[in-house]
Amino acid sequence: MRRSRKVKILATLGPASSDEAMIQKLFEAGADVFRINMSHTDHPLMRELVGRIRAVETKVGRPIGILADLQGPKLRVGLFANGKETLTPGQTFTLDADPAPGDATRVHLPHPEILSSVKPGDRLLIDDGRLALVAESADGKSIVCKVVSGTNISNKKGVSLPDTELPVGALTDKDRRDLDAVLETGVDWVALSFIQRPEDLAEARKIAKGRAALMSKIEKPQAVARLSEIIELSDALMVARGDLGVEMPLEAVPGIQKQITRAARRAGKPVVVATQMLESMISAPVPTRAEVSDVSIAVFEGADAIMLSAESAAGQYPIESVAMMNKIAEKVEQDPVYPGIINAQRSEPEATGADAISAAARQIGETLKLSAIVTYTSSGTTGLRAARERPQLPIISLSPVLATARRLSLVWGQHCVVTPDAHDLDDMVDRACRIAFDEGFGKPGDRIIVTAGVPLGTPGATNMLRIAYIGSDGLSGF
């Protein structure tokens, strides 16, 4: 099955989309990668979902990526004697270490790391920012705050700290258990929530040992401030706009989205734009005009993937949501202004032979109007370099490693095919021509451009470029 777009679609599984038949319908509607949200999924269900996705993969004959999204640290206030309280802007309200039920003057905060880190002047946002507090004093055991805006607070509401860097890693005990479990099932990507600093990736990478690629979710101001360092240590990024919109001014989020997307593109790392893209389709069969524009902006920016959350996980119209996102993406990429916008954001290639080959392949392919770029990639690095160029022509990545093909299913423009390594250069060119023909990217007489590393099978050693004709039998003409 060949997609008619280059941006990928990431669909979250949930109560509305957990059986095998529905997963297949979502794939057929346009989903390329499936997200399992470990905030709402226990280990037995996670294993069942992975098994169902792999069964669909076998049926459709195409590599499908799986992203396991770890919950990360969930910071919440404690309990109230009455379950909830009404506060008044301007009043004093205290968060402390006392486990006694709260009232209109105080509540337990069961997170000593917050009590020891908050400084006077730091903001504390409760319940996704509906209640805003500012710390007036803090002694390590309690934080005396002034209520700035909002009035309601109730049991176990979440706490966001946009001005405070906490001295804890991104992995909780639950995350460590979840990470071990998802790695055992062979998921392709693991998303890390609430990354603050590059060091937050170290523990996850040590546990993963290369068994899955790591995606950093950028959802805190501290992560935005150290974006370049985080990109360097990440395999991919996610623009997690939900929490970004809580911890940073809403009007700043669109600019930050562009900043993250462009930085990831420069680095050649995949980037996903997520949260509320077609939110109204949770309960309506069509999106709003604003949502269509929102999706289209991410596509115009050259994001590798766009994501559906509750729309596909718990909404009334999961298939329609995926199909609508697919339709929007296809239309944007057919727009006459799309190539110009994509090209304007292209970065210069790195000073390596492999990057120079990838840049040359794009330029030659577009100049000669070839049918496709065919890359041989064992580790996926060559495929990523080809995608970084954002060529107008299709990219076919051939890999002998199924795990590599699955990971590349998240990457812009990649059509991945699992095939054994070529025996020699002639076999490599013949195989590239035959697969381009069989997969519908070219017909006899068309030309393709092939990139690979010689000697064959050497990871990351792309050093060869060749133009080939597709012959009448689908093999290389000459």
Q: Are 41 and 49 in contact (CB under 8 A)?
A: yes
Q: Which two tokens stand for residue 437?
A: 């023909």
**From the candidates 106, 217, 269, 407, which is the catalytic residue?**
217
311: CB partners within 8 A, 6+ apart: 12, 277, 278, 279, 281, 282, 317, 318, 321
Annotation says 6 is catalytic? no
**From the candidates 74, 76, 174, 434, which is the catalytic residue?**
76
DSSP-derived letter for residue 153 is E
Taking the C-alpha atoms of residue 449 and residue 303, their distance in angstroms, rounded to an integer, is 25
Annotation says 381 is catalytic? no
**From the candidates 35, 269, 388, 406, which is the catalytic residue?**
35
**Kind of pairing, strands 123-126 and 131-138?**
antiparallel
Q: Are 414 and 420 in contact (CB under 8 A)?
A: no
Position of tokens 């939110």?
279
Taking the C-alpha atoms of residue 178 and residue 36, their distance in angstroms, rounded to an integer, is 11
CA geometry: angle 204, 33, 3, nearest 5 deg: 145
Taking the C-alpha atoms of residue 297 and residue 58, their distance in angstroms, rounded to an integer, is 34
Q: Would you mind telling me the total number of residues written for the chain in this entry?
A: 478
Closest CA to 133 of 108, 112, 151, 111: 151
Annotation says 220 is catalytic? no
CA geometry: angle 370, 386, 4, nearest 5 deg: 60
Rg for the chain, CA atoms, rounded? 24
**From the candidates 41, 275, 377, 462, which is the catalytic residue?**
275
Annotation says 241 is catalytic? no
Q: Could you check whether the bond before residue 287 is cis, i.e. omega within 30 degrees of 0?
A: no
Q: Are 68 and 189 in contact (CB under 8 A)?
A: yes
Taking the C-alpha atoms of residue 329 and residue 250, their distance in angstroms, rounded to an integer, is 25
Give catalytic residue positions. Answer: 35, 76, 217, 275
